[in-house]
A and B are shown apart, each in its own frame.
Chain A
């Protein structure tokens, strides 16, 4: 018991940081979503008007954001799983080198990466000039930049190394002997994957998906810089509430609507994954 109490005491600073700088601000921000703004000042009330307005005015944008977020989530998770699987089971001595190369790009500058894609995908960009030089196209492709495609590829590139970490972490613990035993007993490759590898890697896969889905659904910098005028995501409208419009309550209601919808989707997918995978 004493040991336990010492343990919690030692963890106290971190827990206080978490409580004061994460739980408290987020709770306060949630409370603000029921408030109103009058003459640029916050007025504490209790109204659902902000949520009503979110659904009336921004449901189209929310839907678009969810489609982008889900696409990024699925593509990122699939690529990250494939990469981590190859590193863990198939690449042999090349594995650590490839993993190191991927982790190298973990924190290579969020804005720098978005800027890099802007220069790659632009009308006079690297991809267009390269394709024209090779002779694949005569005219530069204009639909590369300032499109949903640009937003998706930029976000996948940013989130992929972060998604590889938890998946690779969960694949390390998979027992090689169990795989060999299954193969010796005649299990086909797909059966080994579904029966042994995926169930054990499920936590890592779900964590990677949840992270990449939530972060991309809440992003506003990428659509602003490479999405163009037609690709505004909910994050852009949320951020707008804190700039000129000064409507923190509406921005807060929009944030929590987005979070709740995203969490519902993640929980739904989690139960779906439990139903489909054999016990």
Chain B
């Protein structure tokens, strides 16, 4: 342990982790600071910024929209993603690999292009903008995560057990509920939580497809352009807690080790 700590290569990784964590920790730290400016010295400790945010009706309506959107996205992508993973496991491994990469393409493109393509398309077919259009837009790039996580879990599973259940007369649904689901449950939940965190985190696609109203991310976008006081830090901390909380639970239930 100690000799590994002294290696320069370990120090490199530690520095990278510090680089990744520090900005996020600073936002959380300054959300409790008395000082009007986000800089040292931060003054005393206060909960005033949170009080201000929690007394603000717009915050609650944005939070409500966010919960509705990302909750639906999590559930919907859990369904389409799990069904896809169950289907792809029946195909040849190479075909399944190509299918998974293809369905993951939306993650490679800049969100700006996806958002604008959807906006143009929605307005051409006359689809009204709102929660539904945002949910549909998010679904296309959250389902690949569920597919990848669940498919990876199913690959480790012994498929003979499912076939045995089917041979003994179980319907496909019974076989799924009694054999497959107990094995895959954790990864389905984990995938859905990652999908929710992704949905919550997105700003660009939401901004173009929401129309009116606010989610937490479009709310913070508005604040970034009008205010500079630490209420932004408080809203930011709420977002960080929600996304990181979901990611942490997801990593824990799936026992992610890479």
Contacts and interface: CB of A to CB of B under 8 A. Distances in A.
Contacts of A125: 38-39
B211 to A, nearest CB: 14
B20 A102 contact: yes
A107 B13 contact: no
Contacts of B38: 119, 125-126
Given A4-B90, A126-B39, A221 B27 contact: no
B112 interface: yes
Interface string A165-195: 0001100100000000000000000000000
A73 interface: no
Interface residues of A, number: 88
Given A98-B17, A101-B17, A11 B84 contact: yes
Interface in A90-144: 90-94, 96, 98-113, 115-117, 119-120, 122, 124-126, 129-130, 133
B37 interface: yes
Contacts of A94: 1, 4-5, 10, 13
Contact of B108 (A21, A29, A210): A210
Contacts of B81: 14
B161 interface: no
B118 to A, nearest CB: 5
A112 B112 contact: no
A239 B112 contact: yes
A133 B39 CA distance: 12
Contacts of A148: none
Interface string A32-48: 10000000001000000
A119 B105 CA distance: 34
A10 to B, nearest CB: 3
B91 interface: yes
Nearest to B79: A13
B90 A14 contact: no
Interface string B60-88: 00000000000000000001110110111
Contacts of B56: none
Interface in B27-75: 27, 30, 37-40
A86 interface: yes
B20 A110 contact: no
Contacts of A168: 258
Interface residues of B, number: 86
Contact of A110 (B14, B27, B202): B202
Contacts of A24: 121
A96 B89 CA distance: 29
B110 A13 contact: no
A6 B217 contact: no
A239 B119 CA distance: 12
A100 B80 CA distance: 28
B40 A235 contact: no
Interface string A75-94: 00001001100111011111
Given A9-B87, A102-B17, A221-B204, A17 B217 contact: no
Nearest to A93: B1
Given A116-B27, A129-B40, A242-B116, A109 B240 contact: yes
Contact of B40 (A11, A15, A130): A130
A14 B140 CA distance: 8
Interface stretch (A54-62, A247-255, A269-277): A247-255
B10 to A, nearest CB: 5
A158 to B, nearest CB: 10
Contacts of A21: 118, 136-137, 139-140
A211 B61 CA distance: 34
Nearest to B220: A111
Interface string B84-107: 101111110000000100110111
Contact of B243 (A96, A108, A172, A215): A108
Interface of B: 1, 4-5, 7, 9-10, 12-14, 16-17, 19-21, 23-24, 26-27, 30, 37-40, 79-81, 83-84, 86-91, 99, 102-103, 105-114, 116-121, 124, 136-137, 139-140, 143, 147, 194, 197-198, 200-204, 208, 217, 220-221, 224, 232, 236, 239-240, 243-244, 246-248, 251, 256-258
Q: 8 closest A-B pairs (Cβ-Cβ)?
A: A218-B110, A10-B87, A7-B90, A11-B87, A116-B23, A14-B84, A29-B117, A25-B121
23 contacts: A6-B87, A10-B87, A15-B84, A17-B143, A21-B140, A22-B106, A26-B114, A32-B120, A90-B9, A93-B1, A96-B257, A98-B14, A101-B20, A105-B24, A107-B201, A107-B243, A109-B201, A111-B220, A126-B38, A126-B40, A160-B19, A210-B108, A218-B112
